[in-house]
Amino acid sequence: MSQPGRLAGRLVALGITGSIAAFKAVDLLRLLRAEGADVVVLMTPSATRFVAPLTLAALSRRPVDADVLDLLPDGRIGHVITADAADVVVVAPATAHWLGAMAHGLAADVVTATCLATSAPVVVGPAMDGDMYAHPATQANVRILREEFGYRIVEPETGGLASGQVGIGRLAALERIVDAAIDAIGERPIRKPDPADRPPRLADADDLARDADDLVGRHVVVTAGGTAEPIDPVRFIGNRSTGAMGIAVCEAARDRGARVTLIAGMVQAAIPAGVEVIHAETAAAMQAALATLVETPTGGAGFDALVMAAAVADFRPAAPADRKIARTDAGLTLELLPNPDLLAGLGRRVRGLDETGASTGTPILPRPVLVGFAAETGGLDRAAAKLGTKRVDLLVANDVTEAGSGFGTTTNRVTLFAADGRVDPLPLLPKRIVANRILDRVAGLLDARDAAAQTGATPTPGRTSS
């Protein structure tokens, strides 16, 4: 077992590639941390299929860099910052494919790109099937890395392999890899002691590992993704929403104990396990799905909170064709009709108001908490007004033109506008953490609602003590 503290103050870039041994990288990360290292994890796309980036982010307290084209949450180029700051790059497990890519400088993933861009020592722990390791191609690549690049190869060990064979190819004992990293650094000075020169830490790393139970017994409905308004059976009007923010809210609400129903539009992100799903690809279908949930036979709401993250199309073709429209040289003019504002409609319905704002005398009690989103371009000036017109308790506004905040990103910078006038600008954060911040408010509003109901006071979900 290695001595503690031998990597104190050092930044170790841990590159993980897609071998079955990738799960061992979790323990390797723990050992490096136990030696006092600050670790940033780099993954090839196939490595992310063996071990969840979220686990590695939570343990390293840093966002995982798994996409060579992705910028860091603060807009810098991740692999270049890591390459310049790391005291050592440790690639373990390294697959036969990765050894080949590295030997030939093919920087299609962040691990290879970081190795190419760095002047730090590189330690490589290959892991693969015995025949693959013995193959002349692999051996030639290992020789290039060792002899031409000066990389330290921590030779794999002999033993049982995932293939069922016994032979050489098993990832070296993790302590040997840690020792090799310490040895490779030697007496070199710490390259970038200033945290500002290193890849960013998670703004609130504890949020990722959080597993609160403050939504147990609550039913949270989330809409996510864009709607597709048909032009004909094969074409539609859509938008750039991927559904990632809504999916993050589903996962976070589920992990906090809620029953979660997802009303899914056109969603590109994977639908999480443990979530009930209603597919609703048009605004009309989404409206119908919401209607089935909003009113129970006893006049109550069938849910406690609605997080309306879907990008509902504001317009739909007036008369979708029932056959594919053929190409003509004359072009095509589409007539569009406005879709109803689903959220504004619900805001009125739960309060017992009609279209004119007059009371119908039938509010829904206890009143569910409503959360809306506002995707703005160029400032958030209109967000506060949307809070009022949609009669929501919380409006989550972001500027989709800002770096790291647009469609398909893993991060988001939002400002929370609450019905009680509180305005909370949040920093750029992973979407999962944004989801938790939104749910912190939802949980607080629901507790306040229930407390008010018990004391007989007017329920005021627009106010929260949090």
CB of 397 to ligand CTP, least distance (A): 8
* Residue placing its CB nearer to ligand CTP in the complex, 151 or 373: 373
**Would you call 292 helix, strand, or coil by DSSP?**
helix
- Write the CB contacts of 6 (distance below 8 Å, at least 6 apart in sequence): 35, 36, 182
CB of 390 to ligand CTP, least distance (A): 6
Judge whether 363 and 294 are in contact, CB under 8 Å: no
Dihedrals φ, ψ of 48, to 5°?
Answer: -65, -15
* Residue placing its CB nearer to ligand CTP in the complex, 184 or 309: 309
* Residue placing its CB nearer to ligand CTP in the complex, 131 or 341: 341
- What are the b/e assignments for 159-198, b being 16+ CB within 10 Å? eebeeeeebbbbbbebebbbbbbbebbeeeeebeeeeeeb
Binding site for ligand CTP (CB under 6 A): 283, 308, 310, 312, 314, 339, 341-343, 372-375, 386, 390
β-strand partners of 154:
none
Dihedrals φ, ψ of 436, to 5°?
Answer: -65, -35
* Residue placing its CB nearer to ligand CTP in the complex, 179 or 399: 399
CB of 270 to ligand CTP, least distance (A): 21
Give catalytic residues, as residue numbers.
Answer: 239
CB of 358 to ligand CTP, least distance (A): 21
* Residue placing its CB nearer to ligand CTP in the complex, 358 or 385: 385
- What are the b/e assignments for 3-28, b being 16+ CB within 10 Å? eeebbeebbbbbbbbbbbbbebbeeb
CB of 285 to ligand CTP, least distance (A): 13
DSSP run (H or E) holding 169: strand 166-170
Q: Which of 433, 396, 438 is nearest to 210 (CA)?
A: 433
* Residue placing its CB nearer to ligand CTP in the complex, 308 or 443: 308
Judge whether 282 and 229 are in contact, CB under 8 Å: yes
CB of 249 to ligand CTP, least distance (A): 12
